[in-house]
Amino acid sequence: MKSMNITINGRQTTAHEGEMIIDMAKRIGIHIPHLCLDDRLERIGACRLCVVELAGSPKPVASCTTPVREGMVINTHSPRILEARRINMELLLASHDLNCVTCDANRKCKLQRYAEELMVRDLRFEGDRIIRPVDNSSVSIKRDNNKCVLCERCIRVCNDIQTVHAIGLAGRGFNTRIEPPFGQNMKESACVNCGQCVISCPTAALCEHSDIQNVINALNSGKYLIAQTAPSIRATLGECFEMQPGKAVTGKMVTALKQIGFRQVFDTDLGADITIIEEATEFIKRMKEKRSLPMITTCCPAWIKFGEQFFFDELHHMSSCRSPQAIIASLVRTYFAKKIRVKPEDIILVDIMPCTAKKFEIQRPEFMGEADFVLTTVELSKLLKQLDVDFIHLPDTEFDTPLGESTGAGVIFGRTGGVMEAALRTVADWSGIKDFTKLDFKPIHGMRTMKTADIDLKGTKVKVCVVHTLGEARKLMEEIRAGKSPYHFIEIMACYGGCVGGGGQPRGSSSVLEKRAHALNEADSHKKIRLSHKNPSALKIYKEYLGDFGGEKAHRLLHTKYSRREVL
Amino acid sequence: MKKEGFNLIAELQAVQDRYGYLPMDVLKTLSKEHKIPGTEIFAVATFYNQFKFDKPAKHTIQVCTGTACHVKRSADLLSQIQKTLKIRPGEITKDGLIKLETVNCIGACAKAPAMMVDDKVYGLVDQDKLRQILGALR
Amino acid sequence: MITDKEIEQALNQLQGDRITVGLATCGISAGAMPVFHALKNADIGLVEEVGCIGMCYNEPIVTVVKDKRRFIYGGVTESNVHRLISALKQGNVCEDLLVAKDISDLDFYHGQKRLVMGNCGLINPLKLDQYVAKGGYLALLRAISMEKQKVIDEMIASGLRGRGGAGFLTGKKWSFIASKKGKKYLIANGDEGDPGAFMNRTLMESDPFKIIEGMTIGAYATGCDEGFIYTRAEYPLAIDTLQKAISIAYKHNLLGKNILGSGFDFELSVRKGAGAFVCGEETALMHSIEGRRGSPSPRPPYPADHGIYGYPTNVNNVGTWGHVTVVFTLGASEFRKLGTKESPGTKELCLAGMVKRPGIVEVPLGTPLRKIVYDIGGGTSDGTKLKAVLTGGPAGGCIPEYLLDTPLDFETLKSLGSIMGSGGMIVVSEKSCIVDVARYYMHFTQEESCGKCTPCREGTKRLLEMLEHITSGKADKSTLDKLKMLSSFVIDNSLCGLGQNAPNPILSTLKYFENEYLEHIEKKKCPAGICDKLVTYLITGKCIGCGACARACPVQAISGNPKEKHFIDQSKCIKCGTCYAVCPVKAIIK
């Protein structure tokens, strides 16, 4: 790759041919403000905040879409450029809902950050503002177009990466807005609730539908409060309290929940272990009977809604097993309620989940009445802050029994490839391979969105595929529809990175997602038991209550069904 | 959506030619049949001036607001029509008889100010002429 | 192809006795269709339809060619055509409808050099033999006998600059795409979004083959195998004419496979826009052809690298394609003799507004504006003093009266704060308010903004609001500074040419007419009496006391006894102008 000499802000440096100015600047530590730029998305050059001065050019240029050239002399923060960015901000603010103090994105909003950085003091261009109604129809995602800056990141994520096409542009010029088509609201739209749009939105135009007040009311209701925490929460909650990414904060998380009033804190990872027991049983059965292969995992409710909407005829490939959260929820209402002799209706179960889609999942008719509320990681952190919990100084506490013990296989559910690896460990063990560490799972590790591996199980070759983002899921499903899929077992996660990158998580770059995955892997390697079907608590539940693996009672309590959904 | 051979704008123009506007359910059918996401269709249909989402009125009055007509006081003509019909550009009279629109240049610049009623062009429209034209419609 | 015999016949027809009726859109909207039918049914000889001869102020136009002389009749309508018919039947001239005994008699045509518009109004647009008889397709024959690179070299040597407004060297543009391999597209931009410009439309309706021939030459030189003429949906006659001309060209092996045995293929079709001024910008135009929203994209990548469906694409204005034919008909060195060194050739313009003789004119570049407005246009139509000439439409500016000796060329206009644009030239007299002109243009641009980039979407809205404050008396001293500052910001930071040029009318009118702005702001007065909110309505002595105004007034601000002079209570008056409009004796003044 050709190397070029350029001068930027008075510094001499080298750049690669084909590099855009903003990327080169970032590489050497110069941060240029931007709103519409996102590394994973096609660049549209719309916000114009990233403009820079070029010697010899009468006008500024957008650094996100201007490639470097030999001898370029660039100034990224000249007085003229700063004034241009300031005017740009004033224009955005003139069309914006400026009630920051009561806004969901207060202190996290990119407009606030740039307004401060650029010292915006005087709004010189006030005029008409189009007031649009807030869309609260969805249980997962709230849309407020009065806070939209038309950076179009949500559209590019929903259409290009997720291929859901729930929202798009409408109108033109000053009247442009982002919404579902044909006058639909979010609930009626094709939205699968993955929340990837939420974590790409620089303001509060898109945010999670909040259940914090519901949980506060629950904590004060006098009822029996139980919480369960998903595998990936322990790897991300710390970042909400300015801890470095890559450190699991499991013990503090449990302590925090107990401190604010939860009587029991259970581990969804146990549900994950049970999921593996059921799914592995199911998989082996399908392999023997050579039917409905490839089998597809079903922990991800966004993927499930996606499948129900666009690929219903192929849904017999999905495992019928519930997601880990739903398994724990089911057991709490039945098995656990009986054990502690509390009426099921006197229990309030709150799920701490990485995603906004779980808010939709718990309201499915099949799961009604089991979990009461879902709080995302971000919501939990807001609740803890409101209740003045000094998170980073908390001691560690263990999860409660009987639904708190988990294996290393359960923990890795939170990252892409985790469910597949957990399932294959059990399948391998049941096939006679006693040391799963001999199997090579590296091909399904990492952030590539489509990963495949061939696993040799004592003569049987199992072709597996792990994908994340729904765009990749769509490709796989089209292949299955055409009858051309070469796989036996498929893991689908809707969110980039898996649950560590969920719509309810704090935002993080690709490298932060990798660090979170690493935290989960580390937790796994420190566990004594790393095979789901060897989880003593799980085995006890089967013995005392569920019966056989994949048996009749297990099916009734731990499996579910899917329905066709008509959307555009 | 870059689909060579299928042109969404031409398809929408065909729908509008047939119905006089773009009925929502026809657009939804278009989406299903051609496997084009509803967002794409809606985004394109709401971008261009030509596409209408309301049933057309019996007659359409288009007042030219091109520069030559503007200089010859098309604004006065427009406001006179607005006052008489009690509607603004883009709106239809309560009885569904007349829709008022503005259009940029119908090519009768020498006869400014000009307006069209359905397909007929009227030039040098003054108050009397306007009264005649509106009277003939009712 | 056409046979020599057919060409000879066509030539005879063109030179022989015949009657032609201008049936382009301007003629039709003036009422030429019934005239055409009446003449046809009158059985007085060969009656043929032609396009627009450019003299729009005289439409409908009937030309009677007799004994090689060309009598021009104007204003011929359904109600007076019978007079013309009886005069012709008697072998006489119909004096009261006669405009000129010969085209050369008309001041309107003196100083014009009609090359690209040369056939318009003289030939039947859809008769290929007439087009060829007047020298058509000689250019293509010459081009395909040359090596492709030589064709490009000649285009570069001619110095032809794009006629759509940007003025980029056409030959240079061709050379960018000529080197690319694989499928390539050629586009004619016929969107012509400027309100008050219809040169392209006239050419498409009156001489479509000139465009098609130019594109075919360009396709040959650049190696493009497919092309589109993109034209706005509001031009139904142009679309129809082009489509018919294209199919005629296909029939005669002038389009399609192995054109005239040369071995090169070129497929051409028409694509309709759906109503968006921004689609005149080339990346937005390409998106529109693909059936998408017409939002522009950042450049790079340039269309020559990545255009329609990802393939290299070359976009030139419809007018430019017409000039391509002219260049290869005359030859580059002959072409260079016209116009100026930096801007060779001629430019077709749409002269309109407060001018006596509005129409389509074509002059050599470098012609002084004064000559165009006065000699050709006849000066202001209302007899009042000329205030300014607007060039470049909503992306342009104004040239005040004292600068009217400015030559018409790309550089000079730019140096004065305006642009050439597509060729719209609007004459504005003292009776017009120049601030209202700026507001009018900003209203247009703001409505047409695609909305993608912040500076244009938000900036044009706020600029418009400021202009509306100024014209309604709500502005203060700070408004002008804000107007200038925001204008510069929008020009410097917008993504595409629409935003980058939208504030030009503001800065240009401010440059030459700041005093008019100040009168609106400081004195809350509109000197021309145009801005409704700044006028005072007064009832004069002409008042007959009929009470029509009082009844019509929406705020009951008028009082008076029957048959006595009425009075307007200025404190209640909302300056809506209704009384002014309804007074039967024009007793109310502004």
Contact present, A517 and A395 (Cβ < 8 Å): no
Instruction: Check whether residue A17 and residue A140 sit in a common domain.
Output: no
Query: Is A100 tagged catalytic?
Result: no
Residue C10 near chain B (CB below 8 Å): no
Q: How does pLDDT run across C245-256, given as a tens digit for each residue?
A: 999 999 999 999
- Asked whether residue A96 is assigned to any structural domain, the reply reads no
The range of the structural domain enclosing residue B81 comes to 59-137
Q: How does pLDDT run across C6-28, given as a tens digit for each residue?
A: 888 899 888 889 999 999 998 99
User: Judging by beta carbons within 10 Å of its beta carbon (0-12, 13-18, 19+), is residue B136 exposed, middle or buried?
Assistant: exposed
Backbone phi, then psi, for C65, in 5-degree steps? -95, 120
What CA–CA distance (Å, rounded) separates A530 from A425? 9
- DSSP β-ladder status, C424-429 and C397-400: unpaired
Which pair of tokens denotes residue C86? 């009886």
**Stretch (H or E) spanning A61:** strand A61-62
Instruction: Check whether residue B11 and residue B40 sit in a common domain.
Output: yes
Whether the pLDDT of residue C550 is over 90: the answer is no
Q: Which residue has the higher pLDDT, C528 or C388?
A: C388
Rounded to an integer, the average pLDDT of C451-468 is 97
DSSP lists the bridge partners of residue C428 as C388
Peptide linkage before C358 cis (omega within 30 of 0): no
User: Judging by beta carbons within 10 Å of its beta carbon (0-12, 13-18, 19+), is residue A73 exposed, middle or buried?
Assistant: middle
Angle at C258 between CA C253 and CA C262, to 5 degrees: 100
pLDDT band for position B137 (50/70/90)? confident
What CA–CA distance (Å, rounded) separates A195 from A341? 38
Q: Which residue has the higher pLDDT, C527 or A238?
A: A238
Share of chain C above pLDDT 70, in %: 100
Q: What is the pLDDT of residue C586?
A: 85
Contact present, A176 and A169 (Cβ < 8 Å): yes
Mean pLDDT of chain B: 86
In three state form, how does the secondary structure of A427-483 look? Answer: HHHHCCCCCHHHCCCHHHCCCCCEEEEEEEECCEEEEEEEEECHHHHHHHHHHHHCC
Instruction: Check whether residue B95 and residue B42 sit in a common domain.
Output: no
What CA–CA distance (Å, rounded) separates A468 from A492? 6
Instruction: Check whether residue B74 and residue B112 sit in a common domain.
Output: yes
**Portions of chain C given CATH number 3.40.50.11540:** 136-143+169-328
Q: How many C-beta neighbours within 10 Å does residue A198 have?
A: 29
Q: Which residues contact A29 (CB under 8 A, 6 or more apart)?
A: none
Q: How does pLDDT run across A30-61, given as a tens digit for each residue?
A: 999 999 999 899 999 999 999 999 999 999 99
Among B12, B39, B40, B41, the strongest candidate for a mutation testing the A interface, having the largest count of A CBs within 10 A, is B39
pLDDT band for position C511 (50/70/90)? very high
Q: What is the pLDDT of residue B109?
A: 67
Instruction: Check whether residue A418 and residue A475 sit in a common domain.
Output: yes
Share of chain A above pLDDT 70, in %: 100
Q: Which residue has the higher pLDDT, B133 or C367?
A: C367
Contact present, A49 and A83 (Cβ < 8 Å): no
Tell if the CB–CB gap between C453 and A43 is shorter than 8 Å.
no
Question: Which residues on A lie below 8 Å from B40 (Cβ)?
Answer: 165, 168
Question: Which residues on A lie below 8 Å from C415 (Cβ)?
Answer: none
DSSP A228: E
Instruction: Check whether residue B127 and residue B63 sit in a common domain.
Output: yes
Question: Which residues on A lie below 8 Å from B46 (Cβ)?
Answer: 169-172
Question: Which residues on A lie below 8 Å from C455 (Cβ)?
Answer: 48, 88, 91
Instruction: Check whether residue B37 and residue B97 sit in a common domain.
Output: no
Query: Is A109 tagged catalytic?
Result: no
Residue for token pair 């008909």: C329
DSSP lists the bridge partners of residue C362 as C348
Which pair of tokens denotes residue A445? 């590790």
Instruction: Check whether residue B41 and residue B87 sit in a common domain.
Output: no
- DSSP β-ladder status, A168-170 and C226-231: unpaired
From the list A227, A229, A234, the residue with the least C-alpha distance to A523 is A234
Contact present, C338 and C364 (Cβ < 8 Å): yes
Instruction: Check whether residue A440 and residue A374 sit in a common domain.
Output: yes
Residue for token pair 């027809």: C13
- Asked whether residue A434 is assigned to any structural domain, the reply reads yes
pLDDT band for position B4 (50/70/90)? low
**Stretch (H or E) spanning A490:** strand A489-493
Residue C518 near chain B (CB below 8 Å): no
Instruction: Check whether residue B88 and residue B34 sit in a common domain.
Output: no
Tell if the CB–CB gap between B28 and A182 is shorter than 8 Å.
yes
Q: Which of A169, A183, A190 sits opposite B43 (nearest CB)?
A: A169
Q: What is the pLDDT of residue B133?
A: 87
Rounded to an integer, the average pLDDT of A398-419 is 94
Query: Is A126 tagged catalytic?
Result: no
Contact present, C531 and C433 (Cβ < 8 Å): yes
Peptide linkage before C301 cis (omega within 30 of 0): yes
Q: What is the ipTM of this complex?
A: 0.93
What CA–CA distance (Å, rounded) separates C86 from C90? 6
Instruction: Check whether residue B68 and residue B6 sit in a common domain.
Output: no
What CA–CA distance (Å, rounded) separates C484 from C499? 15
First to last CA, chain C: 65
Q: Which of C196, C277, C393 sits opposite B109 (nearest CB)?
A: C196
Sheet of C267-272, strands arranged across = C267-272, C226-231, C185-190, C313-317
Q: What is the pLDDT of residue C529?
A: 84
Tell if the CB–CB gap between C309 and B66 is shorter than 8 Å.
no
Q: Which of A126-140, B109-123, C539-553 has the highest mean pLDDT?
A: A126-140
Which pair of tokens denotes residue C330? 């005359």
Residue B90 near chain A (CB below 8 Å): no
Distances (CA, A) of A559 to A278, A324, A330, A499, A555: 9, 11, 10, 21, 5
Angle at C151 between CA C150 and CA C156, to 5 degrees: 95
Whether the pLDDT of residue A458 is over 90: the answer is no
Among B42, B52, B53, the strongest candidate for a mutation testing the A interface, having the largest count of A CBs within 10 A, is B42
Contact present, B60 and B118 (Cβ < 8 Å): yes
Lowest mean pLDDT of A87-91, A146-150, C64-68, name the range.
C64-68
Q: What is the pLDDT of residue C5?
A: 87
Rounded to an integer, the average pLDDT of C475-487 is 94
Q: How does pLDDT run across A239-294, given as a tens digit for each residue?
A: 999 999 999 999 999 999 999 999 999 999 999 999 999 999 999 999 999 999 99
Domain C536-589 has CATH 3.30.70.20: yes
pTM score of the predicted model: 0.91
Tell if the CB–CB gap between A181 and B32 is shorter than 8 Å.
no
Residue C349 near chain B (CB below 8 Å): no
Whether the pLDDT of residue B3 is over 60: the answer is no
Q: Which residue has the higher pLDDT, A496 or B115?
A: A496
Residue B54 near chain A (CB below 8 Å): no
CA of B68 to nearest chain A CA: how many angstroms apart?
25
Contact present, A383 and A347 (Cβ < 8 Å): no
- Asked whether residue A19 is assigned to any structural domain, the reply reads yes
Tell if the CB–CB gap between B40 and A168 is shorter than 8 Å.
yes
Tell if the CB–CB gap between C451 and A124 is shorter than 8 Å.
no
Looking at the domain C346-429, which fold is it? Ubiquitin-like (UB roll) (3.10.20)
Q: What is the pLDDT of residue C313?
A: 97
Instruction: Check whether residue A166 and residue A243 sit in a common domain.
Output: no
Q: What's A64's domain CATH number?
A: 3.10.20.740
Q: How does pLDDT run across C308-355, given as a tens digit for each residue?
A: 999 999 999 999 999 999 999 999 999 999 999 999 999 999 999 999
Whether the pLDDT of residue B1 is over 60: the answer is no
Rounded to an integer, the average pLDDT of A331-348 is 94
DSSP lists the bridge partners of residue A224 as A347
pLDDT band for position B2 (50/70/90)? very low
Helices (H), C146-264: 148-158, 170-178, 199-206, 208-222, 236-251
Instruction: Check whether residue B119 and residue B69 sit in a common domain.
Output: yes
DSSP A399: P
Whether the pLDDT of residue A176 is over 70: the answer is yes
Query: Is A299 tagged catalytic?
Result: yes
What CA–CA distance (Å, rounded) separates C414 from A537? 82
Length of chain C, in residues: 590
The number of folded domains in chain A is 3
Query: Is A495 tagged catalytic?
Result: no
**Portions of chain C given CATH number 1.20.1440.230:** 434-522
Contact present, A463 and A490 (Cβ < 8 Å): no
Question: Which residues on A lie below 8 Å from B41 (Cβ)?
Answer: 181
- Asked whether residue B54 is assigned to any structural domain, the reply reads no
Length of chain B, in residues: 138
Q: How does pLDDT run across A493-534, given as a tens digit for each residue?
A: 999 999 999 999 999 999 999 999 999 999 999 999 999 999
CA of B8 to nearest chain A CA: how many angstroms apart?
15
Q: Which of B24, B31, B46 sits opposite A171 (nearest CB)?
A: B46
The range of the structural domain enclosing residue A29 comes to 3-77
Coil, strand, or helix at residue C88?
helix
Instruction: Check whether residue B65 and residue B33 sit in a common domain.
Output: no
Q: How does pLDDT run across C119-145, given as a tens digit for each residue?
A: 999 999 999 999 999 999 999 999 999
Which of A36, A109, A197, A499 is catalytic? The answer is A499
Q: What is the pLDDT of residue A71?
A: 95
Question: Which residues on B lie below 8 Å from A159 (Cβ)?
Answer: 37, 39
Which pair of tokens denotes residue C246? 């294209």
Tell if the CB–CB gap between B1 and C292 is shorter than 8 Å.
yes
Instruction: Check whether residue A338 and residue A260 sit in a common domain.
Output: yes
Question: Which residues on C lie below 8 Å from B70 (Cβ)?
Answer: 195, 440
The number of folded domains in chain B is 2
Tell if the CB–CB gap between B110 and C581 is shorter than 8 Å.
no
Please count the CA atoms within 13 angstroms of the CA of C238 that sit on its side-chain side: 28
Contact present, C211 and C323 (Cβ < 8 Å): no
pLDDT band for position C1 (50/70/90)? low
pLDDT band for position B107 (50/70/90)? low
Whether the pLDDT of residue B131 is over 70: the answer is yes
Q: How far is CA A307 from the centre of its chain?
A: 18
Q: What is the pLDDT of residue A468?
A: 96
Query: Is A50 tagged catalytic?
Result: no
Please count the CA atoms within 13 angstroms of the CA of A113 that sit on its side-chain side: 11
Q: Which residue has the higher pLDDT, C1 or A186?
A: A186
Looking at the domain C12-109, which fold is it? Glutaredoxin (3.40.30)
Tell if the CB–CB gap between A128 and C452 is shorter than 8 Å.
no
Instruction: Check whether residue A490 and residue A423 sit in a common domain.
Output: yes
CATH class of C434-522: mainly alpha
Q: Which residue has the higher pLDDT, C466 or B78?
A: C466
The widest CA-to-CA distance across chain C, in whole angstroms, is: 87
Question: Which residues on C lie below 8 Å from B7 (Cβ)?
Answer: 271, 290-291
Mean pLDDT of chain A: 95
CATH class of C136-143+169-328: alpha beta
Q: What is the pLDDT of residue B110?
A: 65
Q: Which residue has the higher pLDDT, B12 or B92?
A: B12
**Stretch (H or E) spanning A295:** strand A295-296
Contact present, C372 and C347 (Cβ < 8 Å): no
- Asked whether residue B129 is assigned to any structural domain, the reply reads yes
- CA-based nearest residue in chain A for residue B27: A182
Q: How does pLDDT run across A205-214, given as a tens digit for each residue?
A: 999 999 999 9
A contact set with C (CB within 8 A): 43-49, 51, 59-60, 62, 65-67, 84, 87-88, 91-92, 94-95, 124-125, 127-128, 149-150, 169, 171-176
